[in-house]
Structure 1
């Protein structure tokens, strides 16, 4: 593991976020930092978000939300997984916003927060079936939420959902379901002031999906959509480096393998960046991988497995496309045992 390093350029994250903010204005960016900020490290990434003027973060779970709160004391932090009463209590104490997409969760959150008006965002299922209240159950759900709000247990500040981003027609149908749900909630006496439906791709490309907030995850880290175009002003913030551990014949062994998080199926399908330019990745073994040799290859040479192209390496999304997945998966598979190094060229400093 000492030969591998994930180097994260926090100035690149700031630039990505400022680019996104400008592009979707007047809607705001909710910067999603789930899965330890897609493997980048939530503490440093959240701090970069604050520096970029981000006022909303999406944390998925409460423990991550508490880490964000520590570095972003005045930001709104939205978490949509409250697994236990203890986590609801912690969310309330840390002034987190909580996503609620189930009648039973609504009752439990209200019971724990009794009389303290915890801020909640109600989720309608628009067809993705990733949590959320079905349309036929929505009127009763929002009526119950209004009753609990009148009792002082919850404050409904938002309505949200996910969309499949499967096709324009499917997404338009989902938007229709969503906006009808907002109308029903308002007719029930609720006054949500934060509406958020879209994530990175739909929010970036389609203004009608932006509403008040767009939940940007992948794009904030410079990860483009699978089979999607590069985005002006957006570039990868993370580069995964390792070193050459052996040179034998026409093969070079590098100190990074499947146990470190590199999918074995990438062997024979991608190139990596080397001092000799892009070279084919021949295979992935448990502790090491094999790369085609380049002139003057030597033990100790640096190899970039993915990143913005410093040594001719491909992006995480390009790797993902080779095996039918998404760039985020390539990032989150990097072992937490791999050291993270944070650089900030604008501040001319680095730290681990």
Structure 2
């Protein structure tokens, strides 16, 4: 598989550096932790902002058994880039081109009998069997068949299997509260999933791969790993249970570093207001560094005056409101100059900020921090931790 890097012109104002060796190490750590269950690395949403195709390639090289995506377009993009291994997609709408999925040997997911009818229709029109998985809603109340609708979906699938129109390759569900290991919903969902599997068994169907766990479930609920676990966030080195265990404690290394260079420094007097609304006012004469990234590049406005950055190796805090194209940092007496490095977040090994710290500062989750960052950042894929890979 190959994917061009972000186009380059002029100096690098800001970049996202993706350490593919760190990703490989994370994938191997997760595979070892969850064995004998197989591992699916989830690469939807452009690989959680890390670049779907390079991440997918690195994950396969590290031993990922499956790749997971939300949409059929994402699955077909993987195939177009040269991926040939098992791929599951799960978020369809009426009118999906299931014939294209069959042509590309992509597993699709049915949530309802209406969706199954479309998949079967494509199989009949094209000739051959569609690779199908079924999803049951065990309590997330999102995608998947409800307990009331599940028996009808299973029965319709049995008919399609007997007619040689589909091959059932998996039955799955998704945790709602696995990031809170003690939440009672986790046990309730495990029981609901077990009940759904009994319906499949009573229908005389082989369920194929049974899978329930996301990253949080895979790392905290070993009894629920079944045949396969689906790891998204953890593959990218971020803790899916940050209130309980850090990335470091889980043996994971954050893969993405978001960094920029200082565009300008200036001296301002005591009592100077910084950025829109003057929500930050200097307490003394100080140096202000201008960083050329903002909410147009996915830097959250909620990071205004609270999110950590590292300027020239020193921890600082965003000073004032994040703008569309830029933000300011009060660096005090630190000798900072244009061109110096600013790290918004990264692996944190050198004391720098992490995506989790940005999430906590902004009142959100690390998933959002890494998937929304982009805009005019250039993305670059590197091999930075080979000695640890």
Bin for the TM-score computed over the shorter chain = over 0.9
Q: Do the aligned partners of 2:308 and 2:357 also contact (CA within 8 Å) in 1? A: no
Farther off after superposition, 4-13 or 144-153: 144-153
Contact 1:15 1:233 in 2 (8 A): no
Report how far residue 86 of structure 1 moved: 5.2
Distance 1:118 1:169 in 2: 37
Mapped partners of 2:143, 2:380: distance in 1: 36
In the TM superposition, residue 347 of structure 1 has moved relative to its aligned partner by: 6.5
Deviation of 1:87 (Å)? 2.8
Q: In the alignment, which residue of structure 1 is the partner of 2:325?
A: 287
1:270 correspondence with 2:270: no
TM-score relative to the length of structure 1: 0.94
> Residue 273 of structure 1 contacts residue 310 of structure 1 at CA under 8 Å; is this kept in 2?
no
Query: How many angstroms does 1:84 deviate by?
Result: 5.4
Bigger drift between 93-102 and 311-320 goes to 311-320
**Equivalent residues of 1:12, 1:236 under 8 A apart:** yes
CA-CA distance at 1:313 after TM superposition? 2.4
Alpha carbons 2:214, 2:232 under 8 Å: kept = yes
The answer (yes or no) to whether the contact 2:19–2:385 under 8 Å persists in 1 is no
2:49 corresponds in structure 1 to: 39
Q: Is 1:248 aligned to 2:281, yes or no? A: no
CA 1:83–1:331 in 2, change beyond 3 Å: closer, same or farther? same
The match for 1:168 among 183, 196, 205 is 183
Query: RMSD in angstroms over aligned alpha carbons?
Result: 1.8
Gap change, CA 1:310 and 1:246, over 3 Å in 2: farther
**Corresponding residue number in structure 2 for 1:207:** 222
1:144 aligns with 2:156: yes
* Alpha-carbon distance in structure 2 between the residues aligned to 1:146 and 1:26: 28
Residue 198 of structure 2 corresponds to residue 183 of structure 1? yes
**Contact 2:298–2:375 at 8 Å: present in 1 too?**
no
Aligned counterpart in structure 2 of residue 192 of structure 1, from 203, 207, 224: 207
Deviations for 1:154-174, whole angstroms, at most 9, x for unmatched residues? 111210111111543211101
Q: 1: CA distance between counterparts of 2:208 and 2:162?
A: 17
User: Which one of 300, 312, 315 corresponds to residue 354 of structure 2?
Assistant: 315
Q: Distance in 1 between matches of 2:137 and 2:94?
A: 22
CA apart distance, 1:80: 0.6
Instruction: Please state if 1:326 is matched with 2:365.
Output: yes
**Is the contact made by 2:22 and 2:384 (CA closer than 8 Å) also made in structure 1?**
no
User: Which residue number corresponds to residue 339 of structure 2?
Assistant: 300
Structure 2 residue ranges without an equivalent (≥5): 1-10, 268-285
Matched, 1:96 2:106: yes
Instruction: Say if 1:130 and 1:162, in contact at 8 Å, map to a contact too.
Output: no
Post-superposition Cα deviations, 1:118-174, rounded to whole Å, max 9, x if no partner, equal 111111110111111110121121011101111121111210111111543211101
CA distance in structure 2 between the partners assigned to 1:339 and 1:78 by the alignment:
29
Aligned residue for 1:238?
Answer: 256
> In the alignment, is the contact (CA less than 8 A) between 1:47 and 1:71 conserved in 2?
no
When residues 47 and 87 of structure 1 are mapped into structure 2, their CA distance, relative to the original with a 3 A threshold, is same
Tell me the equivalent position of 1:229.
245
- 1:269-316 alpha-carbon deviations (Å, 9 max, x no partner): 121112141111113111100112151100111101011126632111
Query: What is the DSSP-based 3-state SS (H/G/I as helix, E as strand, rest coil) of the residue aligned with 1:95?
Result: coil
Shift of 1:71: 5.1
Give the SS at the match of 2:318. strand
Shift of 1:233: 2.1
- TM norm structure 2: 0.85
Indicate the SS of the match to 2:109.
Answer: strand
Deviation at 1:175, TM superposition (A): 0.7
Tell me the secondary structure at the aligned position of residue 336 of structure 2: coil
Provide the C-alpha distance between the structure 2 equivalents of 1:305 and 1:272, rounded to a whole number of angstroms.
5
